[in-house]
Amino acid sequence: MRIASRLRAVSIATIAAIFLLAPYLISTLIDFRSAKSDFVLAERIKNNFFERASIRDQYYLHREDQLRAQWEQSKAAADLLLLDADSQFVSAEDRDTHPIPFLLFLSFFANIPSGPCIVMLMAVFLGAAYLFSPRYGVFFKLIRGRHYHEESLERWEGHQGHDHQVPDKNS
């Protein structure tokens, strides 16, 4: 095969690959832009809440009217950001939330420290794992029958008072 024909074949294969992959590349670009706008909005919300917490702490410490006004403005800005988030996350996939960040978000509003909230959540997850673990969980042990090892241990306990002759390896 000549070089010109090889170059033509490679060029045709490359153009065909570009046309086949173009829809995937376009959808990836759209997903990336959407993820980037979600990230920017999440960063704005995070910065607003940290600023709001700082202003709230300063207000509780000094009890000045100016700090209270800033706190109220920050709360209004947070409400606007949450409205933006509500309009931006319209699909069920976008609104799918995981329990820990959601509960930590609620702990912020309930004025519960996040450290103890995380510890309590982990204790709940540990308790659920202890109860519902497929292999060692209490719930599944009640449903499942006894294990063969437990039955063999009971048979072994009946033979412990006997002296069994063990064959010598040298003979």
Q: What are the average pLDDT values for consecutive 10-residue runs of the chain, which has 171 residues?
A: 82 89 86 83 86 84 85 86 78 60 67 76 83 78 66 63 59 54
Same domain for 109 and 57: no
Same domain for 13 and 73: yes
pLDDT tens string 14-49: 899 888 888 888 888 888 888 888 888 888 888 888
Same domain for 72 and 22: yes
Q: Indicate the burial class of 33 (C-beta count within 10 angstroms; 0-12, 13-18, 19 or more).
A: exposed
Cβ atoms of 59 and 71 closer than 8 Å: yes
Which residue range forms the structural domain that includes residue 25?
A: 1-96
Number of domains in the chain: 2
Distance CA 167, CA 171 (A): 8
Same domain for 81 and 101: no
Q: Which of 121, 93, 89 is nearest to 106 (CA)?
A: 121
The answer to whether residue 171 sits within a structural domain is: no
Same domain for 139 and 112: yes
What local confidence, expressed as pLDDT, does residue 127 receive?
86
Same domain for 85 and 132: no
Angular region, 95: left φ>0, alpha ψ -120 to 50, beta rest = alpha
Same domain for 117 and 80: no
What local confidence, expressed as pLDDT, does residue 7 receive?
84
Cβ atoms of 103 and 117 closer than 8 Å: yes
Angle between helices 65-88 and 3-62 (to 10 degrees): 150
